[in-house]
Each structure stands twice: as C-alpha cells, then as structure tokens.
Amino acid sequence: MASPKSLLATLRGARQERSSLWLMRQAGRYLPEYRALRETKGGFLELCYDPESAAEVTLQPIRRFGFDGAILFSDILVIPHALGQHLWFEAGEGPRLAPALVDSALDQLQAAPERLEPVYATVARVAGALPSETSFLGFAGSPWTVATYMVAGQGSKDQSAARRMAFGDPAAFGALVEAIIDLSVTYLSGQIEHGVEAVQLFDSWAGSLSPAQFEQWVIAPNAEIVRRLKALHPDTPIIGFPKGAGGKLRAYADESGVDAIGLDETVDPAWADANLPDHLPVQGNLDPLALVAGGEALDRAIDRILAAFPSRPHIFNLGHGIVPDTPIAHVEHLIKRVRG
C-alpha cells in the first residue's frame, strides 16, 4: 500500500516503494459521471465556475480509481479571463478570447480578478473532502502558453501569431508575459492558501520555440513564477511541464527552479533519467494513445517507464491529458500494473 501522501513525499524528493500515480485530465469526458454532470450544467466555463460542481468533478476520479493525487478541475484560460478578455467555448471548436491581442493592446483590457474567486471556493471544498492519503494538486498555465491564446484569441497549431509578436514587438509581448506572471503568482498563491498542496505549471506549447526563444519565453517566466511563489510558500512543491521541450529539458530543470519535471510522451524515460539532475523527481510519461490501445502495447509501455527510474523519485502519469475515448477498463488495468 502507498504511504500517506506518497505523491507529496515524492515531489519532495523521497523515492517510494512504488511510483505514485495520477493522470492529467483524469477528471473529464472519459468518465460517465462527468458527462452526466456536464449535461446538467450547460457550458464548460459554467462548470468550471460552479464551486459545488467543479469540486464534484475533481473528486470523481478519486472515488472511482483512488489515484494518489487529485488535480483541481478548472482551465488555464481563467487567467486571461481575469485579466479582462472575454472568454467562451465554441462547441466542437474550443476556446475563444476577445479581443485578440494581435489586434488590440493589453492596456485596453479591464482586469476582473474576482473571476478567480469561484476557483478558490472549489479548492476549499475539495480540500475538505479528500481522503487523508490523497495529495491535492493545483495548477496554472505557464505564461508562454497562456499568451499564445491571448494573442491569437484561440488555440493554433503553430502559435504563429504569438511567435510573430514576440519577434516583432518584444516589448509589448514582454509586458503581456509579465502581466500573466503577476496574476499567476496571485492565483497559485490563492490556491495554496485555500488547500492545494502542490502546483503544476502547464506549458503545453513550449515545443514550438527555438532554443533562444525557449530561454526567453519559457524558462525565464517560469523561473520568475517559481521564485515569487517560493518566497510566499517555500514548502509547496512545483511541477514544471514544458511539453515538447525535448533536449531543452536539462536547461529547464537547471534554470527554472521547479521541484519536479513532467515528461511528455516524446521523451525517452531512460534518456531523462541519464540527463536530468540526479534525484530530481520526474513525472510521466505514458502516451495517452497507448492507454486507449490497451493490451500488450500498454503493458510494455508501462513496464518500460517503471524500469527507467531505478533510483529516482517518480510519479507515474501520462505524457499529456487522457483522451475522451479512453476505456475505463484500461485505466483500471494501468492502476493495477503500476501498483503491482
């Protein structure tokens, strides 16, 4: 059996008898109980901003699977919403933000930090309901990734609008990144004050940048968030997840100050163990589609990851979020295999 708060202990550098386990997007559309609740609430954003419902969604996978960690149910785009952009979700198409900052200036936005209050209420509800052995994770989007949505007004495959702005008007783009840093520190600190025990910084689009831009727009802003947050909450572990970083992971680990690194599915776990700083906890990195496929392919992938970290603190997770068509039986099988 896992020791109490095994995930939290792992993030603090303790090697566990077995890898701790949680999954990105473990609260979501693959669960029938989530789909049933979603039908009663209407839109996705309405669900995120309803503390009772968002807490219920956060707890659903804990009740069903007994993961070692619960991840707050929310969205990275609550930050631009609180900075004053209009946010909505188009069915089947994803988020939209207006005005898009490729055509508008940051100082034209009217900040609305009160929009974050329902998230803090959700955190407090979950913190009071979790089993004693379950660690509670909060999160925020990293500045580069959040900025890509704010500039383009939506997601994009190559983040070209933000990259063009970063090259063409680095002062304006830097001011946007600084605004995201400021509010993200406040937001994460509020989550911690209301009950989360560790936080993750999601840089989902970090892989689109050159090494020099990666240093400027991924490592430096994340390092600043870590520095400021550690000054406020020195004992709260911070996980950095720069998806697509590849060979730049070592620089990220050395310079960002995070307590643990999340690996996406493109990273060879044996390479990560050999190249990342000794004893730095790592998290990951099963391909979400291997979990969909199941069978021998899933077993081989699980076993390869578990064997890659013989002496390093490790949290078993996916290389990105669980996808909606993932069979629940495959998740159950994953848990049994990881836990022996």
At position 69, the amino acid (one-letter code) is G
Q: Are 57 and 73 in contact (CB under 8 A)?
A: yes
User: Measured between alpha carbons, how far apart are the two ends of the chain, in Å?
Assistant: 10
Name the catalytic one among 50, 68, 75, 203: 75
Residues 6+ apart with CB under 8 A from 63: none
User: In the block, which residue shows the tokens 């109980």?
Assistant: 33
| Residue 237 CA neighbour count, 13 Å, CB half | 23
Among this protein's residues, is 38 annotated catalytic? yes
27 closest CA partner among 65, 73, 66, 68: 73
How are beta strands 94-98 and 135-141 bridged, if at all?
Answer: unpaired
In sequence order, what are the beta bridge partners of 198? 137
In sequence order, what are the beta bridge partners of 75? none
Among this protein's residues, is 63 annotated catalytic? no
Name the catalytic one among 149, 203, 259, 264: 149
Instruction: Show the CA angle centred on residue 163, arms to residues 158 and 167, nearest 5°.
Output: 155
Name the catalytic one among 25, 96, 163, 312: 25
Alpha-carbon distances of 336 from 24, 109, 224, 260, 329, rounded to whole Å: 18, 49, 39, 24, 11
Among this protein's residues, is 30 annotated catalytic? no
Among this protein's residues, is 15 annotated catalytic? no
Among this protein's residues, is 75 annotated catalytic? yes
Name the catalytic one among 18, 29, 115, 250: 29
Residue 242: strand, helix, or coil: strand
Name the catalytic one among 38, 125, 163, 312: 38
Coarse DSSP helix, strand, coil percentages of the chain, rounded to the nearest 5 percent: 50, 15, 35
Residues identified as active-site: 25, 29, 38, 75, 149
